[in-house]
Every structure is written in structure tokens, then in C-alpha cells.
């Protein structure tokens, strides 16, 4: 089980992804609150968010996250590229989740579970370690989150006390589990 925990632009929630083996379907669970009818399409993009304490919406930029995850180089400009929900899963880019399962348009709280035949969590085409980007209906990037093991990174903070004339500071250690 992997997840992308979203906490940006007032949106809170997660995408979770479960595939028991490379030969099984992937189950996607989407649970997002406070979308406030501001968003539409969502995709898996190539790279994870840069490591920082509090990611901002600029973390979602093309420089950071790249374009859609498309390991089979499907040509989305070709006349044969199917319209949203207009085909079997294999004819879409791997990362094009909303084309396969529908967009988030005109919703506030969104909860759904989808089965996906074209979303590997194993091997070289895996989406793990990449990111999910939620776009505005006009396709501007709005919010994003990395796809990782829940609890993969724990942030240990040490806040030193400070007072008048006493130096103070903060150290942060990123601790990765062995998985």
C-alpha cells in the first residue's frame, strides 16, 4: 500500500494505491476534502516533491515534478488518443488517472474507489516515488503530493529553547525507514 497525502491549498486528504502483486489490478482510493469546486483533472507526474518542511503550491511546478508519467510514450496528441473514460485503460498514459476514472470537477468532498489495469506499483514503470498533481479545470497545477510508503519518512525535530541573549535554533533530521 502506497499513498499520496494531500495537504495544500486547503485541500486535505489522500490517494492510496494497492496492488497485491504485479499480476493484479491496482485499487485506487481517493478521499479528498475541501476541493470547493476549484479543481478538475489529476495525474501521476514523473518526480516527487522536493524535500522541504512545508511544501507550497509552487512545489508542483514542471521544474520539480515534470510532466505526466508516460513510460510507454503514448502520444496524447494523436487523433487516436481516446477522450476521457472513452477507452480501455491501456490506451491512456499510465499517469492520466482522471482520463480513466473521471475528473474531480464540481465537487467539494470526493470519495471513490477505482480499479485500474494500467497503474503498476512494481517494476520499472511503477508510480511509486513519483507524485500526484491535482489541476484546476483550466489545467493549471493546483496541489500535489508525493507517492510513498505511509510513514516512509519520519521527521524528527529538536527545538532548542531560547530566551533573552540565549542562542536558539532548530535541527531537523530526515529519518528513512529500511523498507
Least distance to Cu ion from the beta carbon of 12, Å? 20
List, in order, residues 6 or more apart from 132 with CB less than 8 Å away: 4, 6, 15, 42, 43, 44, 45, 97, 144, 145, 147
**Closer Cβ to Cu ion, 2 or 142, answer by number:** 142
**Closer Cβ to Cu ion, 2 or 42, answer by number:** 42
Among candidate residues 90, 95, 116, the one with its CA nearest the CA of residue 18? 116
104 binds Cu ion (CB under 5 A): no
Least distance to Cu ion from the beta carbon of 137, Å? 13
Q: Over the Cα atoms of the chain, what is R_g?
A: 18
**Closer Cβ to Cu ion, 32 or 133, answer by number:** 133
Any idea what DSSP says for residue 25? P
Q: Is the dihedral of CA 35, 40, 42, 48 positive or negative?
A: negative
**Closer Cβ to Cu ion, 77 or 161, answer by number:** 77
Interface region with Cu ion, contact rule CB under 5 A, candidates 31-39, 86-94, 101-109, 130-138: 130-138
Instruction: Please tell me the count of residues contacting Cu ion according to CB under 5 A.
Output: 2
Among 8, 119, 133, 143, binds Cu ion (CB under 5 A): 133
Residue 31 gets the label, from left (phi > 0), alpha (psi -120 to 50) or beta, of beta
Q: Give the total residue count for the chain.
A: 179
In contact, 44 and 130? CB cutoff 8 Å: yes
43 binds Cu ion (CB under 5 A): yes
100 binds Cu ion (CB under 5 A): no
65 binds Cu ion (CB under 5 A): no
Task: Name the residues that contact Cu ion, by CB under 5 A.
Answer: 43, 133
Amino acid at each position: 500500500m502506497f499513498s499520496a497525502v494531500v495537504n495544500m491549498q486547503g485541500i486535505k486528504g489522500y490517494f492510496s494505491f494497492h496492488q497485491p502483486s504485479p499480476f493484479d489490478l491496482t485499487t485506487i482510493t481517493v478521499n479528498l476534502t475541501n476541493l470547493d469546486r476549484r479543481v478538475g483533472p489529476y495525474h501521476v507526474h514523473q518526480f516527487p516533491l522536493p524535500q522541504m518542511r512545508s511544501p507550497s503550491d509552487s512545489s508542483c511546478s514542471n521544474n520539480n515534478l515534470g510532466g505526466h508519467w508516460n513510460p510507454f510514450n503514448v502520444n496524447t496528441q494523436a487523433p487516436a488518443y481516446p477522450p476521457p473514460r472513452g477507452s480501455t485503460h491501456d490506451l491512456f498514459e499510465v499517469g492520466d488517472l482522471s482520463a480513466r476514472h473521471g475528473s474531480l470537477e464540481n465537487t467539494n468532498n470526493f470519495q471513490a474507489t477505482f480499479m485500474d489495469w494500467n497503474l503498476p506499483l512494481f517494476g520499472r514503470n511503477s508510480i511509486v516515488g513519483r507524485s500526484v498533481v491535482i489541476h484546476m479545470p483550466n489545467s493549471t497545477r493546483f496541489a500535489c503530493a508525493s507517492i510513498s510508503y505511509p510513514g516512509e519518512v519520519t521527521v524528527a525535530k529538536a527545538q532548542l529553547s531560547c530566551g533573552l541573549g540565549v542562542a536558539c535554533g532548530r535541527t531537523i533530521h530526515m529519518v528513512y525507514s529500511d523498507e
